[in-house]
Every structure is written in C-alpha cells, then in structure tokens.
Structure 1
Amino acid sequence: MSRPKIVVNRLDAERLQRLIENSSKDDYAVAEALEAELERCEIVEPEQVPSNVVSMNSKVAFTDLNRDRQIIRTLVYPHALKENKDGLSVMAPIGAALLGLKVGDIIDWPLSGGDPVKLRIDEILWQPEAAKQYYR
C-alpha cells in the first residue's frame, strides 16, 4: 500500500488530535487511520508548510485513479461542512487520505467498506498557509 510522506502544521495536528479524541464510535475507523497518519507525519509550524501540501481548509484538485475522475474539494473540519458547499470532511475516509499530501503524490487508502481507492493530488487551488492565513 502506497503511503507517501506527509506534512501537517502544528496547529492542525493539535486540532485533529482533539477531534480524534472526541470522535464517535461511527467515526472510529477514520479516527484510527487519521491518528496513524498523525503519528507518521512531519509536524511543522504553519509558516513552514510548503505551498504544494494539502493542509486543512485547502482547496485541492485530486484524481480518483480507480474511476479516472478528477474531483475538486476543500478539506474541512466536520463542523465547517455546512459552510462549504464543496467541503470534504477530514473525518471522511477520502478527506483523511488527502491530509498532508503534496502535489503529485499518490496514495492507496481504504474506504469505509474496505475497498481501496487510489488518489493522486493534481493541484492545490488555494491553501491558507500560502495566503498567510496561519490560524484559520
């Protein structure tokens, strides 16, 4: 299974850890996978996040290589889904998979039914850190 190196900013890592700790039984599998990703990631200060990395609140174009379909979504915390018509929760399997990847990375990730999906990051259309919005 392909798992590229990932980068997460310190503030997002702290927020995500709290989200994992408070997750419901329904979110257990994704929370567990997200926690494993946080354990293996490189944590950097928000100002040090490269502009080609998917961070929280980034708008990203990615391709589902299983279906040869490009998708554009904004990676958000679950509470922000209502405010983002193109939002993808970090607590959804694909949302958790995207976190910390950089443009060009490909990841194999299990969906909730157990079937794997292969995703490729094509482009970061907007990233808070690149826009100098470090505390969003």
Structure 2
Amino acid sequence: MATRLPIIIYRLDAERLQRLIDEADDNDLAVARSLEEELARGEVVDPEQIPGDVVSMCSQVQFTDLDRDRQIIRALVYPHALATTEDGISGMAPVGAALIGLRIGDTINWPLPGGHEAQLRIDAILWPPEREGQCHR
C-alpha cells in the first residue's frame, strides 16, 4: 500500500468519531480499528482552521473510484443520519472512513472486504459544513 497522507480533522468530528469507535460492536470492529488509525495520524484543528479543500463529516464530496472509472457524489454522515440523508455514506463505513480528512486531489488506496483495494481520488467538496457555519450537526 502507498504511504498514507497526513490528514486534517475537525476537533468535534474527531471526538464524535472516537465515541463511535469506542462503542463499535463486533460487526464494526475492523472499520473502527481502521478509523482509529486514521484519527491517530490526523492533525486535529478547530473549525475555522479547516481549509475549504478538506473532507470533514457532513461534507458533500465528489470523488472518483479510479479502478472503476466511476465518479461518485456522497454526503459523509454519522451513522444515525444515514436514514435521512440521500446519497449518504457513513463515516463508519470503509470508504467513508477513508475519505475523512483528505484534500482535493489526494488519491488513496483503501482496503475493501475480500482483500481488494479501491483507489479513490478526491475531486471536489461540493458542500463544506465549516464554511457554511454548520459545524455542529
């Protein structure tokens, strides 16, 4: 796997995600461990320090699955918001955890179930919650 890029994460996101990691059940343990690794390598900052090109929770993100040449738009949400968010992806899902803290232009390889990897490139952040003053959703 390629060298992992450093990430930037909003302080409240880090706290909320850590709670989800701590409460993970047996079905979510693998993703929780991966997400915990992501948080451990991240720089935790206040909302006004989040650059506009960084993926945070509640962001609407456009990314490309380079292996399938498929562009995807998803809102990165907490698990409890999945039912009410069209095209939502949980931060506790493998791909959701992979997106947190990345910047536009970043490309990562992320392990998928079954030993496969997905290569993802962040193309745009269509709705950044920090710039919109929506940091506490």
Task: Work out the CA distance in 2 between the residues paired with 1:15 and 1:115.
Answer: 29
- Report the residue type matching 1:55 in the other structure: S
Task: Work out the CA distance in 1 between the residues paired with 2:115 and 2:45.
Answer: 31
Partner in structure 2 of residue 109 of structure 1: 110
Is contact 1:97–1:109 with CA below 8 Å preserved after alignment?
yes
TM-score (norm 2): 0.96
3-state secondary structure, aligned to 1:117: strand
**TM superposition outliers: structure 1 runs of 4+ over 6 Å:** none
Task: Work out the CA distance in 2 between the residues paired with 1:134 and 1:76.
Answer: 12
> Would you say how many aligned residue pairs link Structure 1 and Structure 2?
136
What is the CA distance between 1:132 and its match in structure 2? 1.8
Partner in structure 2 of residue 125 of structure 1: 126
3-state secondary structure, aligned to 1:97: helix
Partner in structure 2 of residue 83 of structure 1: 84
- Report the residue type matching 2:63 in the other structure: F
- Report the residue type matching 2:70 in the other structure: R
Unpaired stretches in structure 2, ≥5 consecutive residues? none
Q: Please provide the CA RMSD for this pair.
A: 0.8
Asked if residue 96 in structure 1 is aligned to residue 101 in structure 2, the reply is no
Task: Work out the CA distance in 1 between the residues paired with 2:113 and 2:55.
Answer: 22
What is the CA distance between 1:134 and its match in structure 2? 2.2
TM-score (norm 1): 0.97
What is the CA distance between 1:130 and its match in structure 2? 1.2
Is contact 1:107–1:118 with CA below 8 Å preserved after alignment?
yes
What is the CA distance between 1:112 and its match in structure 2? 2.0
- Report the residue type matching 2:84 in the other structure: E
Task: Work out the CA distance in 1 between the residues paired with 2:135 and 2:80.
Answer: 19
Unpaired stretches in structure 1, ≥5 consecutive residues? none
Asked if residue 59 in structure 1 is aligned to residue 60 in structure 2, the reply is yes
Task: State percent identity of aligned pairs.
Answer: 62
Cα deviation 1:62-101 (Å, max 9, x = unaligned) = 0001101000000001110001011001111100000000
Partner in structure 2 of residue 4 of structure 1: 5
What is the CA distance between 1:5 and its match in structure 2? 1.4
- Report the residue type matching 2:132 in the other structure: A
Is contact 1:47–1:134 with CA below 8 Å preserved after alignment?
no
3-state secondary structure, aligned to 2:113: coil
